[in-house]
Amino acid sequence: MGDIKVTAIVIAYKRPWTVDRWVSGLRRQTVPVEIWVWDNAGDFPDRPDIDVIVRSSRNFLCQPRFLIAGAVKSPYVFNQDDDVAIKDECLFEKLIAESEKYPDAFFGWNGRSFANQDKINWDLAYQYPGTGWVGKVDTDQVDMLNVGISFYPTHLINQIQLNPYQNKTRQVTEREYKWGDDMWISTWLKNRRVTSFMENGIELLDERDQGLSKQTDHMVVRNELCRRYWKKQSPPEDGADVVIHPEREVLP
């Protein structure tokens, strides 16, 4: 199989009907791939086509994809959940070529830009479509990168605060940890880039009722977190001890 180029880290949680699809998408890639699974339900089956399985005794939600990336030996990491399948067998080959052009960038499939503050409807800031949405465009003009599907050189994992509860710059709450990993992780990423290869090369599988996006508060809380992290408040809202993106100003 040759030297492993990409380690694919998959977060799995009680969606056995999707496994064959996403495993096939990863195994058909034109570059050598290793597959690591973090099993948040603790019951993922043994499979010879999975290289590493971590069966967790509790659901750690999204954070493990970056936690275990610190142990990766391959030069690149690809993150996805078990409700995503790759349909382009050349996707990793294309992303590696993009990464060679932009060696310090995290690549995602979409995101949001909050530069035009007066045009953002902050009650719907996370909604799609709408002002601020960035998708199917090759650009680095993005503040919040959706990191659930992402690709990056392994060495960049050091940019991310792996334990957000023990960060001296900004405290991450339980609520943010559950609902807003895209937001607090994006604030630590120095270079965020949306590439059309990503969205054009993947398909979303049926997650049925298994997934945070199916829960009632999903959009409500994420809209709230967009305000918390990126809205310039004058005067600050009650309790606004927030830090805008590190490349922007820090609010009082």
Domains and CATH numbers, the chain: 6-230 (3.90.550.10)
The rounded percent of the chain whose pLDDT value lies above 70 is 87
The rounded percent of the chain whose pLDDT value lies above 90 is 64
Tally the C-alpha atoms within 13 A of residue 245's C-alpha that lie toward its C-beta. 21
Highest mean pLDDT among 57-71, 161-175, 210-224: 57-71
pLDDT at residue 167 tops 70: no
Give the confidence band of 245 by pLDDT, cuts at 50, 70, 90: very low
What are the pLDDT digits (tens) for 192-221?
A: 999 999 999 999 999 777 666 666 688 888
Report yes or no: 110 and 134 within 8 Å, Cβ to Cβ: yes
Q: What is the pTM of this model?
A: 0.89
- Structure tokens, 49: 């086509």
Q: Report the pLDDT averaged over residues 58-72.
A: 91
Highest mean pLDDT among 25-29, 58-62, 175-179: 25-29
Short-list 6, 141, 189, CA closest to 86: 6
DSSP one-letter code for 243: B
